[in-house]
Amino acid sequence: MIEFAPRIRATLAVVLLGLLVSGCGYNSIPTLEEQAKAKWADVQNNYQRRADLIPNLVATVQGYAKQEKDVLTAVVQARASATQVKIDASQLTDPDKVKQFQDAQSQLTGALGRLLAVSENYPDLKSNQNFLALQSQLEGTENRIAVARRDYIEAVRVYNTELKTFPGLLWAATFFRSNKPMVEFAANDNAQTPPAVKF
C-alpha cells in the first residue's frame, strides 16, 4: 500500500474540500442574487430611457395640440412622479417600495396612452416625422421594458426558489441569513380589465 506524506495528504484534503464546497451550492445564493440585481438594473435602465423620451414627445405634441393642455400636463406630472420614485437593489425585498415604484410607472404608462390617443385627433401631428420617430422609439422602449421585467421576474423566481429548496435552504439558514426573498413585479389592477373598443 502506498503511503502519502503528510504534506501531500493535506494538499489532497484541501483540494477535495474545495471540490466539495464548489459543488455543494454555497455560491448559488450570492450568484443568483447578483443576477436578479443585474436584471433589476436593466428594468430601471429601460424605464429611464422612456422617461428621457417623454419631454421631446410632449414638446412635439404641444406644437400641434395646444388645447390638450390637461393631457400634456398629466404626462409631465406622471413623468416627474415616476422619476422621483427610486428603488435600489437593496430595497427589492420590500413589497411596499416595489409597489410604489410599480404604481408610479403605471401612472406614467396610462398618461402616455392618453397622450397617444389624443394624437389620433390631429392628422398633421400623426404625419409629423419627429412625432412618428418618437412614437416608434417609445414603442420599442415599451417592448424593452416588457422584456426586462420578464427577465427580472424569472431571475427573482430562481433566486427565491434557491432560498426555499435544498441545498440552498441550508445555506440560507446558516451563512446567508440576511438574504430575504425578492419581490416580483405584479400585474396592475388595470391589466385584468379588457380594453374598451369603440367604433
3-33 residue pLDDT tens: 667 778 778 777 776 666 556 778 899 999 9
Domain extent, residue 47, equals: 28-188
User: How far, in Å, CA of 43 to CA of 49, rounded?
Assistant: 10
Please check whether residue 197 lies inside any domain of the structure. no
Confidence (pTM): 0.80
- Split into its structural domains, the chain has a count of 1
Please check whether residue 15 lies inside any domain of the structure. no
Mean pLDDT of 166-170: 89
Q: What pLDDT is recorded for position 199?
A: 29
Q: What pLDDT is recorded for position 141?
A: 96
Q: What pLDDT is recorded for position 36?
A: 97
| 196 pLDDT tier (thresholds 50, 70, 90) | very low
Please check whether residue 139 lies inside any domain of the structure. yes
Please check whether residue 17 lies inside any domain of the structure. no
Please check whether residue 126 lies inside any domain of the structure. yes
Please check whether residue 6 lies inside any domain of the structure. no
74-127 residue pLDDT tens: 999 999 999 999 999 999 999 999 999 999 999 999 999 999 898 888 988 888
Neighbouring residues of 114: CB distance < 8 A, sequence distance ≥ 6: 71, 74, 75
Please check whether residue 8 lies inside any domain of the structure. no
Which residue, 150, 145, 151, 148, is CA-closest to 112? 145
Please check whether residue 19 lies inside any domain of the structure. no
What is the identity of the amino acid at 96?
A: D
Burial 146-185 (b: 16+ CB within 10 A, else e): eebbebbbebbeebbebbeeeebeebbeeebeebebbbbb
CATH of the domain at 118: 1.20.1440.20
